[in-house]
């Protein structure tokens, strides 16, 4: 492990902002710290960087305990949420800043800055000031400045927070490619799950100062371990009386979560689903969002709004329309853990997801029109 946090505790007054935090990060990986606002993400980054001291525990970088090593000596690059570019310095001087601090010879600085301008696609902008740049360009300058001195670890605190959605999407891919190109171990903070899932190799989920789960994006998505992660990840709808749903019996659970990918919604006259209509629920469409390549329906299921995705190839639907809703599975949870429950009636009839997919397939038109 390249970076290790061992039994880290930190209080701000009475507030326990890091509660026995433990994790390790492998060299060369790109890790996301994902959690709601106030869950302690920034504080973890600041402790790694040495800008904040833990009350107890060890911070280890490359096998060495760094608790007592000054921030500037830790070999860390930091990209802050609000860019924190020097306003009165040009792009060139911003990128050169860390190199000048290191007293690198002028010609070497020039070489390195030019290399970074090319890498970050900022050629020609070196004489501009930050207020003459777009948000995306500023963020690239911040990235170039952070990696200029060749840090061995890069920390990024919500690097895209101040950038609008479209550019943000582009920057995510850009950042991922850049980090792999440079080959630098990186930790980035976000509260946006789509961002974490798209960008990171591994995700660490924080909640109220604790680590809830660590895993690959797919593991986090498919096997949430705690009630918090179950609700936090995906477009999850929480339902308390899940046992009233067809095919689900009461267990020692406090509630359950339904994700769009666990649900099929169809019109009651749809012959393809005639074998399962008796084990479906009735719901009513309360909202329809056009998502470009599909529709996102909100369906009211006995007072619980659930999200369902619908292919544009299928028959039109409208707000107020009654739909049948078939739930294949759900995540039930108690106080500590989450459990995947499958629809027992579908199981009894030996119907699995593959069957259901084939219901949707129309061989005549070679498409999924229903
Ligand atoms: N210097 C400080 N003094 C007192 N409390 C602080 C200090 N810094 C942070 N906190 C508190 O600690 C908690 C965690 O803060 P932190 O900034 O680490 O959260 P975060 O997960 O980064 O949140 P966000 O997503 O909003 O940036 C918050 O409740 C915050 O108010
Ligand atoms: Mg923060």
Question: What does the pLDDT read at residue 354?
Answer: 66
Model confidence band, residue 110 (pLDDT cutoffs 50, 70, 90): very high
DSSP H helical ranges for the chain: 41-49, 91-101, 106-119, 135-147, 165-182, 193-199, 217-222, 227-232, 344-348, 353-360
Whether 297 and 281 have beta carbons less than 8 Å apart is answered as no
- Which of 40, 193, 195, 232 for a ligand 1 pocket mutation test, highest count of atoms within 8 Å of Cβ? 40
Q: Which residues line ligand 1 (CB under 6 A)?
A: 12, 15, 17, 35, 37-43, 191
Model confidence band, residue 83 (pLDDT cutoffs 50, 70, 90): low
- Which of 11, 15, 82, 196 for a ligand 1 pocket mutation test, highest count of atoms within 8 Å of Cβ? 15
Whether 135 and 143 have beta carbons less than 8 Å apart is answered as no
DSSP letter string, 101-156: HTT--HHHHHHHHHHHHHHTT-TT-TT--GGGS-HHHHHHHHHHHHHTT--SEEEE
With H, G, I as helix, E, B as strand and everything else as coil, classify residue 276. Answer: coil
- Which of 5, 12, 196 for a ligand 1 pocket mutation test, highest count of atoms within 8 Å of Cβ? 12
Mean per-residue pLDDT, 7-27: 95
For residues 31 and 23, give the distance between their C-alpha atoms in angstroms, rounded to a whole number.
Answer: 11
Region for residue 164 given its phi and psi (left: phi exceeds 0; alpha: psi -120 to 50; beta: otherwise): beta
List pLDDT tens digits, range 272-310. Answer: 888 888 999 999 999 999 988 889 999 999 888 999 999
What's the distance, CA 43 to chain centroid? Answer: 18
Distances (CA, A) of 94 to 47, 72, 297: 25, 17, 47
This prediction has a pTM of 0.88
Nearest ligand to the CA of 39 is 1
How many angstroms is it from 45 CA to the middle of ligand 2? 9
Structure tokens at 103: 């007293």
How many angstroms is it from 50 CA to the middle of ligand 2? 16
Domains and CATH numbers, the chain: 3-226 (3.40.50.300), 235-368 (2.40.50.100)
Burial class (CB in 10 A: 0-12, 13-18, 19+), 221: middle
Whether 116 and 144 have beta carbons less than 8 Å apart is answered as yes
How many angstroms is it from 219 CA to the middle of ligand 2? 24
Residue nearest to atom 5 of ligand 1 (CA): 12
With H, G, I as helix, E, B as strand and everything else as coil, classify residue 60. Answer: strand
Question: What does the pLDDT read at residue 13?
Answer: 93
């Amino acid at each position: 492990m390249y970076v290790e946090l061992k039994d880290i505790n930190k209080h701000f007054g009475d507030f326990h902002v890091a509660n026995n935090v433990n994790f390790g990060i492998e060299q060369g990986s790109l890790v996301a710290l994902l959690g709601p606002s106030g869950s302690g993400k920034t504080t973890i980054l600041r402790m790694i960087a040495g800008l904040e001291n833990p009350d107890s525990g060890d911070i280890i970088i490359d096998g060495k305990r760094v608790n007592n090593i000054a921030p500037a000596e830790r070999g860390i690059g930091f990209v802050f949420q609000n860019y924190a570019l020097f306003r009165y310095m040009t792009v060139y001087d911003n990128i050169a800043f860390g190199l000048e601090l290191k007293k690198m010879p002028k010609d070497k600085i020039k070489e390195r800055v030019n290399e970074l301008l090319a890498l970050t696609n900022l050629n020609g902008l070196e004489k501009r000031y930050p207020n003459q740049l777009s948000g995306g360009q500023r963020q690239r300058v911040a990235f170039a400045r952070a990696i200029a001195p060749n840090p061995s670890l890069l920390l990024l605190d919500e690097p895209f927070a101040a950038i609008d959605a479209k550019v943000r999407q582009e920057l995510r891919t850009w950042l991922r490619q850049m980090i792999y190109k440079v080959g630098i171990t990186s930790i980035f903070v976000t509260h946006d799950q789509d961002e974490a899932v798209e960008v990171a190799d591994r995700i660490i989920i924080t909640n109220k100062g604790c680590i809830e789960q660590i895993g690959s994006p797919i593991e986090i998505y498919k096997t949430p371990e705690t009630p918090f992660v179950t609700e936090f990840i995906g477009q999850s709808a929480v339902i308390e009386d899940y046992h009233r749903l067809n095919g689900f019996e009461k267990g020692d659970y406090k509630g359950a979560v339904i994700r769009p990918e666990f649900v099929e919604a169809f019109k009651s006259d749809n012959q393809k689903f005639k074998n399962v209509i008796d084990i479906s629920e009735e719901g009513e469409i309360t909202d329809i969002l056009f998502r470009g390549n599909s529709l996102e329906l909100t369906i009211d299921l006995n007072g619980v709004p659930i999200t369902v995705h619908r292919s544009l190839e299928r028959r039109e639907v409208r707000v107020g329309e009654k739909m049948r809703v078939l739930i294949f599975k759900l995540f039930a949870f108690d106080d500590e853990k989450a459990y995947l429950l499958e629809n027992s009636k579908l199981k009894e009839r030996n119907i699995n997801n593959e069957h259901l997919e084939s219901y949707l397939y129309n061989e005549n038109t070679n498409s999924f029109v229903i």
